[in-house]
Structure formats: structure tokens, C-alpha cells
Amino acid sequence: MTAEFWIIQTFNGLSYGALLFLLASGLSLIFGVMRIVNLAHGSYFMLGGYVGLSVVWRTGSFTAALVAGAVAIALIGIGMERLFLRRLSGQTLGQVLMTIGFALMFQDLALLIWGGDPYTIPLPAALQGIVTAGALRFPTYRIFIIVVATLVGAALWIVLDRTRVGAMIRAAVDDREMAQGVGIHVPVVSLGVFALGAALAALGGVIGGGFLGVYPGADFEVLPYAFVVVIVGGLGSLPGAMVGSLLVGLLDNFGKALFPELSYFTLFAPMALILALRPTGLFGRA
Amino acid sequence: MKMKVILVRTLAAGLNVALATTLAVPPTAHAQGGPIKIGLLAPLTGAASALGKDMLNGTELYLDGIGFQAAGRKVELIVEDTEGNTATALTKARKLVEQDKVHVLTGGLLASTGYALHPLAEAQRIPTTYPVMSSDDLTQRKPAKWVVRTGWNSSQSMHVFGEWVAKTLKYKRIVTIGLDYAFGWESVGGFQRTFEDNGGQVIQKIWTPLNTNDFAPFVTQIKREADAVFAVFFGRAALQFVKQYETAGLKGRVPLLGNGTTTDESVLPQMGDEALGIMTALHYSAALDNPANQKFAKAFEAKAGKIPSYYAETCYTNARWIVEAVKAIGGRVEDREALLAALRRVELRDFPRGPVSIDRWGNPVQNIYVRRVDKVGGKLQNSVIATFPAVSQFWKYDPDEYLKQPLYTRDHPPCPHC
């Protein structure tokens, strides 16, 4: 194991963790504000990728794909929350059942619209190169993922921590009834957070589509990762989602690189340990 | 009240007559040639649905071409969706055999399905063909009397390829990377055996868990002194691996070789220039220029709107194989022993993949093609650059000696040069 191995694998883990952050931060926010365990969150990732794919095919623009994917899936999220989930407010089991129902329907619809063939989203030339540093080689695209996730993370942190809207969201996370009591319109906050969470997952789907591809089954492949991130980090916590994503990205990467036959073990054993010691996750509050 | 009773009685009587008729008719119809029923198991929903559609389209294309008629009898195709799941496949297989009373059972995708269907075929004494499932032992150390393989086995084309790479490309040191389960082990095993028998050395073997979608942790470990990398993937993993091999900056520096599914036409059209130059081997290529394949490929494109994958060809060939056997026994498919014997006697020269006969373990003896991904008319294709005729699953080895060796697994053959 040379220094090179550790540097490259750390970079791989960080870039994969960055993608997981885009996927999981929305799931964490949604749970924080609405206490909804959204099993359709992986579907947002997959559908975002498919919408992005169609847009790149038509327009050739990767930027347009990012925007269109995020907007389209935000609208789907709004529809789901406004028309269905809101009616089940407080009924955890009903909500879980409904989100898994949506996930299965989205799976069938995607198969119907895009067929079963796997695709990768074509990347602009600027993102395709390699940055070399001595003997080390870093794919530009993976650097791009880290940059995007950092920007998104910073923006979310500023909004949540420094703005009035952020204060309203934090209030709704901490105590829904109290927030309602002091005049915060919690249903609107919920709707906004749901749309934002869906859009972030879709953004992850388009970016992931550039190197993981877009294919049937991607939804349920990424879903456990999103949940591990959120549970390890602490439900509803943005710093938790950040730390959780990097931790899971690094664990998954080093697990696969060092002990490939134990790839689930190296991911889930630390999760079990963290939960045993801190049942609310690293940054969660009881 | 009375009215009601009468009504019920009349209905019951009517039902009795109807039942009696349905029950009475089939035996006579059978004797006079009712439909010949073929039961096809294919993953039509779920992650492998694209492959399942190719399987179905290939089968239907052939049966359409003969107007669903064979030996003067109608042919009925009954399709069941396995959802790409072995337990479902087994339930549906039982339904096809017990309820639909099919005369031939066929299809299946996963190796595990193959091993699960073996006992069913034996217990039910149902003539069964495997067009796709390729696990070596299905026709080697654990053959089933009632099963005939019309497709291939995993190591068959790799024996040819390992020797060809050592002798023709003259590569000395190769790193293998493949899916960590039977299909990967058997493909890598076949390649390694003949590559090393011909002077090459496998210097590193990397196995990727089936749940991998980011291949960076593996690709970045490939030893730099390798002359080439040999990869075994299929479906979305093939697409991801080939793309990420390029992203990691390895394309153009270390040539990429692979088994047939890594550049199969089920994923090739979705690949970009990252796939150019990859060399592989398989018993088929959509770019084969024999007349049977040209006719088939054209008809398949017209029906399915895409070029045929090996899954499509093997199911087309499989359907013809079954029909040829049916014709050979004059359509008397009720005689199961005769049908099975006929399935094991099929030998034709003009399948799209080329001439095919069958060995006594139930595996095809057929051409193996070494292919290279080229761009022709703006589209990627597997151009055939070498043809090895009539290749048996045992290659140049003596079958009895070969079968004394253990099955190729994760740790066999061992890796003395790693």
C-alpha cells in the first residue's frame, strides 16, 4: 500500500461521498421537517437522471440537463406532497406505504418511457479530462462532483443558518407545533423543503448519470446508501448529512478497495456501531 | 324462491355441459394435433427487462417467420415473466409445466435459475432448453438428462480467447477484473487457463462485488506493468466499467480485452468512443456477414428497432432448434423421450451464429469469433477479426481429463504470478 494508493482512494471516496451528499441531504431535510420516511427518494435520483438524459439528447447541453432534471423532479415532489402525503400527515405507516407505492410506480413508468437499456449521460468535453499531479491522475469529472456538492452544501448551510427562511425551516424541524404557533406557515415550509429535497436528489441523478449511468434498478440501488448516510449523520441534520456522506463514501470505497468480498460488511458494520453508541446518529437530536 | 332454484339448476346444468365439453375435447384434439406448446421464461420486468425483451423478440421473430406452424400443427408460445428472480422463475416454470402442460420448457437468464430448473426438468421429465444460462457445470459435472443447452457456456469462448491473446497479441502480463460470482469466475478461469498454458501470466485478479456501480476503487488499483486488462461484465456494469476505465485515464495506455458480454450489442449502442478497440470473444456478433445472420439482423431490427444482441440471436436460434426437433419427429411432441432425443440430434449449418452441433453433455459445439469494437458508418460494432470453427466446451483438452479438474471458481485456477 503506497501513499499513492491512499491518496487516490481517499479522492475516490470523497467524490463518491459528494454524490451521496446531493442524494441524501434532501432526504434528511424532508425527514427533519415532515417526519416522512420517503422510500421514493431513490426514484427522484433515477428519474432526474432519465430526464437529464432526454434533455442532453435533445439539446446537447449538460447544464440544461441539470436544470431540467432538478425542476421536473421538484414538480413531481410537489405533486406527491400536496396531493397525497399531506393527507396522511402523522400516519407514519400510511406514508411509508404510499412512498414505496410511488417508488414502484415510478419504476414501471420509467421502464415504459425509457425502456430497459442502460445509458450514460454524455458529458461536455470540459469535464472529460484528467488532472495530473506527478504520478497521480484525477478525473476532472470527479473533481467537478466535489465542487458541486461543496457549493450546494455551502448554499444550504447559508440558507438554513443565516436567513429567515432557514430559521423557519429549523423551527419546523425542532418543534412543528410551536413553529405553527408562532405564525410560521408550516405546510408551505414543508412543501418547499419537499421540492428542494426532490430537486437535490434529481441533481445527484443527472450528475451520477455521467459516470454511474441511468438504468432500471438504480433507484433501489442508491436508496440504502441514502438511508445509511441520513441515519449515521442524524436525521434532519445538515452537518450530519455532510459528515455522513463523506464517511459512507470513504467507508464504501476503502471497503471495496481493501476487502471487496466484505463490501456490505464494511459499510454496515460501522453504521451498526455508531447507532449502538449514538442511537440518534452523529449529529441527531433525540 | 322456486324460480331461483330453477335458475340455479339450469345454470349448474349448463356449467356441467360446458365443463364436460372442455374436459372431453383436449385428448382428441391432442391426438389429431392440437397446438404444440412452448413455455418461455424471460425477465420482462425489473432490472434485466431489456435482455428479456430481446429474448422474447428473438423467439417471436422465428415463430412469426414460420407462421406459428410446425409439422402441420399450430405452435403456441406461452410467455412467463420471471422478474429476473430465480424463485419467481421456478414458480412460473411449475405453472407452465403443470397448468399449461407445455411440451417444451425454455428460457431463463440467471445461472442460479439454471441450477434450480435442473431438478424440476428431471422430476417432471419435461424436455427443456437453455438458450442463455451459461454456467459451465450445467453441461459438465452436473448435466441433466432432460436439459439441452442451445446457447453457450461461460468458459467456452474464453478458452479460445486466452490462447489467441497469448499467441497473436503476444501479451505477457494481464490483469483480470470481473464480476464476483460464477459467471465472472468461469469466464476469467477459462481465459486464464489457456492464456497461461500458452506462456502468458495473469499478474492480478480483481473481483468486483455485484452491487458495485462506482468502479473507481478497483480501476485505480490495476497494476501499471500490465500489458492489457481483461474484463468480464454485462448490462449496466459493462457500460459503467468501460466508461470509468476511460475516465480514469487508462484507455489508450493499457489495452482493454473482455469476454463477449462486455461489448454485447445489448449495451454497445449506448457506449461511446470509450469502447473503440476493445477486443472480446463470443459465439456471435451482430456484424457477422453470413447470409443467415444478415437476414436475421435485418428482420430483428425491423421488429425490435435495435440491432440484435446475443440474447436475441440465441433465442431466435433456440426457437428454430426446437422447431427442427419437432419436425424431425413428425410433430409427435407428446412422446417426450423422442422429442428429447431429437433436441439432442439437431445439427444445422445455417444459424445466424454459424454451424452448430451438440456434444454428449448437451452443450453446443460452435464457432467462436474474436471481435474488435470498430466504428462503421458512425455506429459501433463487434467486427469479427478471427474465427475458430467447431469449438467444444472442452477446447483442445480431453473431456475426461478436463472434467477431473475442479470447476473454475474465485480461487481456481490459482494465481501463481499475482
Assign 3-class secondary structure to B293-360.
HHHHHHHHHHHHCCCCCHHHHHHHHHHHHHHHHHHHCCCCCCCHHHHHHHHCCCCEEEECCEEEEECC
| Per-residue model confidence as pLDDT tens digits over A47-87 | 999 999 999 999 999 999 999 999 999 999 999 999 999 89
Is there a contact between A260 and B218 if contact means CB atoms under 8 Å apart? yes
Average pLDDT over residues B116-140: 95
| Per-residue model confidence as pLDDT tens digits over A125-143 | 999 989 998 888 899 999 9
Domains B33-152+289-362 and B156-282+367-404 share a fold: yes
Average pLDDT over residues B391-418: 95
How many CB atoms are located within 10 Å of the residue A254 CB?
17
Is there a contact between B216 and A261 if contact means CB atoms under 8 Å apart? no
Mean per-residue pLDDT of chain B: 91
| pLDDT of res. B10 | 42
Cβ-based neighbours of A178, under 8 Å, separated by 6 or more: A171
Superfamily for domain range B33-152+289-362? Response regulator (3.40.50.2300)
Scanning every residue of chain A, which has its alpha carbon at the shortest distance from the alpha carbon of B306?
Answer: A117
Alpha-carbon distance of B63 to B67, in angstroms, equals: 6
Mean per-residue pLDDT of chain A: 93
Is there a contact between B206 and A216 if contact means CB atoms under 8 Å apart? no
Q: Give the ipTM of the model, two decimals please.
A: 0.90
E strand or H helix at A131: strand A130-133
Is there a contact between A260 and B209 if contact means CB atoms under 8 Å apart? yes
The DSSP bridge pattern shows strands B128-130 and B147-149 to be parallel
* Residue (of A12, A19, A211, A124) closest to B244 by Cα position: A211
Q: Nearest Cβ partner of A257 from B221, B235, B269?
A: B221
Q: Nearest Cβ partner of B272 from A15, A122, A141?
A: A122
A187–chain B nearest CA distance, Å: 36
| pLDDT of res. A286 | 64
Scanning every residue of chain B, which has its alpha carbon at the shortest distance from the alpha carbon of A104?
Answer: B46
Average pLDDT over residues B188-205: 98
- Residues in A closer than 8 angstroms to B262, CB to CB, are none
- Residues in B closer than 8 angstroms to A130, CB to CB, are 248-249
Per-residue pLDDT band for A35 (boundaries 50, 70, 90) equals confident
Q: What is the pTM of this model?
A: 0.90
Per-residue pLDDT band for A266 (boundaries 50, 70, 90) equals confident
Question: Which of B220, B245, B410 to probe by mutation at the A interface, max A CB count within 10 Å?
Answer: B220
Give the cell for residue A250.
Answer: 470513504
Cβ-based neighbours of B182, under 8 Å, separated by 6 or more: B111, B135, B154, B409
Q: Nearest Cβ partner of B209 from A120, A253, A263?
A: A263
Task: Tell me the torsion sign for CA atoms B372, B373, B374, B377.
Answer: positive
- Residues in A closer than 8 angstroms to B272, CB to CB, are 120, 122
Alpha-carbon distance of B241 to B230, in angstroms, equals: 12
Work out the percent of chain B whose per-residue pLDDT is above 90: 86
Average pLDDT over residues A28-39: 89
Q: Nearest Cβ partner of A211 from B50, B207, B244?
A: B244
Is there a contact between B214 and A211 if contact means CB atoms under 8 Å apart? yes
Is there a contact between B270 and A9 if contact means CB atoms under 8 Å apart? no
- Residues in A closer than 8 angstroms to B85, CB to CB, are none
Q: Residue B407 has what DSSP assignment?
A: P
Q: What angle, 0 to 180 degrees and rounded to 10, lies between the N-to-C axes of helices A3-34 and A218-233?
A: 80
Higher local confidence (pLDDT), A171 or B242: B242
CA atoms within 13 A on the CB side of A215: 27
CA atoms within 13 A on the CB side of A226: 32
Amino acid at B126: I
B304–chain A nearest CA distance, Å: 12
- Residues in A closer than 8 angstroms to B180, CB to CB, are 260-261
Q: Are B179 and B237 in contact (CB under 8 A)?
A: yes
| pLDDT of res. B343 | 97
Q: Nearest Cβ partner of B247 from A8, A116, A139?
A: A139
- Cα separation values, A4 from A10, B212, B220, Å: 10, 23, 10
Alpha-carbon distance of B350 to B294, in angstroms, equals: 11
Tell me the domain boundaries of chain B. 33-152+289-362, 156-282+367-404
Q: What is the third-level CATH fold of B156-282+367-404?
A: Rossmann fold (3.40.50)
Residue B375 pLDDT greater than 50, yes or no: yes
Question: Which of A143, A215, A259 to probe by mutation at the B interface, max B CB count within 10 Å?
Answer: A215
* Residue (of A188, A10, A37, A155) closest to A102 by Cα position: A37
Place of cell 461511446: B272
Alpha-carbon distance of B416 to B418, in angstroms, equals: 6
- Residues in A closer than 8 angstroms to B270, CB to CB, are 117-120
